[in-house]
Every structure is written in structure tokens, then in C-alpha cells.
Amino acid sequence: MSDWLIETEALCRSFGKGKKALNELNLRLPRGGVHAIVGANGAGKSTLFRILLGFMAPSSGSARVLGVDSQALGPAERARIGFVNEEHSLPGWMGVEQLIRMQRRLYAAPGIARWQEAMLEEVLGHFNVELHQRVSELSRGERAGLSLALALAQQPELLILDEPTLGLDVVSKRAFLEALLFSGQQGGATIVYCSHQMEEVERIADQLVVLERGELRHQSSPDDFCQRVRLWQIEFPFNAPDLRGLPGYLQSQVLDGITHLLLLDQDEATVAAALKELGARRAVSADVGLDRAVNAFLAKNHAAPRRQKKNESKEAVHA
Ligand SMILES: Nc1ncnc2c1ncn2[C@@H]1O[C@H](COP(=O)(O)OP(=O)(O)OP(=O)(O)O)[C@@H](O)[C@H]1O
């Protein structure tokens, strides 16, 4: 029996005439921590979640969650999995208190006994949710808080979050992340989270998974991913040459006469020598943040190379 919390084997899901949302995906996530799944629009993140939750069947291959095939999850396993998505779909016609009571009855039931009132109160305390309100009267941020509180109060072993902070303002977003961090400190659920907001990922994720066109492209800590991408700031005594042929090339941009070049997986001494050969007067390398590293990595395979226009020097971007 496998020790992985989530394990997919050659997982494929196609739509229509051969459109592959997931393509032979082999992904293993251990128990514990926050795993952020990132990827461009259409990379297959939500499709993966739907299959993991048993809402959708794979076209081929398999996915195991909590040691069970995701297509065979029963009520006992489902009670151990929490899910929050961007829509925070809760029954609008119910009162907040009524909804909490219903969930409490469900998860505090004999044989399940997972309900944790203190967690509910703690998380709700981060948001201005009034118990006497109707769910339909709550703002988007309040609804997000309520759905997170309900999901965490059921003490899931696995909590899947599909872009949960989409559309939230800064205050609600901060409250949401603080509540997640709090649950982590309590030794709570393993969190599998997808988001396009790298500052959030940087703040809460222990592990980063990069999906591209339904395939696994990278898996490590966010710091280790950042180490793969280096920023070179280069002075050329003349117009910058075309750098797109350099090994590991991701992106370059000329700002106020300095060329900013992003390279993937390259040895520093080799790059320095290559730049010197291209006529660089000065070249220094630096770290980049997660946002820039991930976006350059993903953009590389998404955008067609763009030619620099004549007279374009200040903000020329090569991708
Ligand atoms: N029910 C469906 N019918 C047809 N195509 C679908 C369906 N669901 C997803 N797809 C396609 O599968 C691909 C992956 O979609 P998915 O929603 O998993 O991507 P995503 O990574 O979650 O994207 P985003 O970041 O935009 O939410 C996309 O090309 C999408 O159009």
C-alpha cells in the first residue's frame, strides 16, 4: 500500500477531439504541508482536482487519494477531504447559523466525529460573518471565510483549494491566508492549493508543482525552483545582440540601456564567459522572486518569439 496522500499514474483526461487537459501525469504528493499547484490558464489544474475529488473520471491512467482510487471514494474517505473553490458555492437560502448547525450534525455524527468547534470559531473570527445573516447576504470575502471555516472545522486530512482567493480584496485575502496558516500550525490538513498569485504561493507553500499542458514540469520547494532561474543584468557597449539562442533562454528586456536576461538551469561561469564573448562590458547575476521565475518559465512555452521593433529599446521584451 502506498504512503502517498495523492498519487497519479499516467493520468490522462481528454475532452472533445483529443484535447488533452491531462497528459500522462505522474504526480506524487506526500502528507503534510502546503502544496501549491501552478500553471497557466488551461494547464489542467481544475481537471486534476475534479478527478482527485471523484467528480470526473480519467480517460485513462489512475489517481489515488488517501490510498483509495479517486473513482471509488466512499463516504468515509470523503469525510476526510475538504474542498473550497473560487465560487464558494454555499446554499444562499440558508441562514449562516443553520448551515453551520447542519454541517456540525453531519461531521460530529457518531462514526465520523471530526467536527472541531474551536477551529470554526477561530477561522470565522478572521472574517466579519454574522451568524444571523443569510448566506446570500454575505459578501464574497465573507462567503470565502465561511466556506474555509466549514471545511477546516471538519478536520480534513486533505484540503483542496481551487483558486480560493480569486476576487477577494487585500483584507479578505490576508484573513484567508492567516486562517490557513493557523490551521497549519495546529497540525491540520495537508493542503493542495492552486493559484495564479505567486505572492500568496510564496507566503504559504512548502512545495511547488508546476503543470504545463497537463504535464508535470517541476516539483520542489519554491526556493529550489527560484534557484533554477537567474537574472543577468548586462551592459553592452552597443545595442544588445539577440540573446534568444543562449542555452536556457527564458526572456530578455532592455531597460535604460541595461539588458535584463532570465536564464534557466545554467552554470554561472559558463554564462559569464558566453556573455563576454558576445561583447558584454559588464554582467552580474542575481536571484529572482517566485513570481518572475514562474511567469518567465511558463511564458517561454506559451508566447511565440517576438521580434524587437526598430527603435524599440526602453521596454523591449523577448519571450
Ligand atoms: N468540461 C470540459 N469540456 C471541454 N473542455 C474542458 C472541460 N473542462 C476543461 N476543459 C479544457 O481542459 C483544459 C484544462 O482546463 P482546466 O480547467 O483544468 O485548466 P486550469 O489549469 O484549471 O485553468 P485555469 O487556470 O484557467 O482555471 C482547458 O483547455 C479546458 O478548456
Residue 58: φ, ψ to 5°: -70, 160
**Which pLDDT value is given to residue 106?**
84
The CATH code for residues 6-220 is 3.40.50.300
Instruction: Give the other-Cβ count within 10 Å of 8's Cβ.
Output: 25
**Which pLDDT value is given to residue 240?**
86
Of 272, 290, 269, nearest in space to 261 by CA? 272
**Which pLDDT value is given to residue 1?**
53
**Element spanning 234, H or E:** strand 229-235
Asked whether the predicted pLDDT for residue 309 surpasses 50, the reply is no
Q: How far apart (Å, rounded) are the C-alpha atoms in residues 219 and 16?
A: 29
Question: Which ipTM was obtained for this model?
Answer: 0.97
Instruction: Give the other-Cβ count within 10 Å of 230's Cβ.
Output: 22
Q: Could you tell me where in the chain the CATH 3.30.70 domains are found?
A: 228-318
Ligand 1: residue of 14, 45, 49 to mutate (most ligand atoms within 8 A of CB) is 45
CATH topology of domain 228-318: Alpha-Beta Plaits (3.30.70)
Residue pLDDT, tens place only, 84-132: 888 778 888 999 999 999 999 888 777 777 888 988 998 888 888 888 9
List the end-to-end C-alpha distance of the chain, in Å, as a whole number: 45
Ligand 1: residue of 8, 25, 41 to mutate (most ligand atoms within 8 A of CB) is 41
If you take atom 29 of ligand 1, which residue's CA is the nearest one? 42
Asked whether the predicted pLDDT for residue 51 surpasses 80, the reply is yes
**Which pLDDT value is given to residue 189?**
87
Beta strands 215-220 and 190-194 are unpaired
Distances (CA, A) of 114 to 53, 82, 299: 19, 12, 43
Residue 106: φ, ψ to 5°: -65, -50
Q: Could you tell me where in the chain the CATH 3.40.50.300 domains are found?
A: 6-220
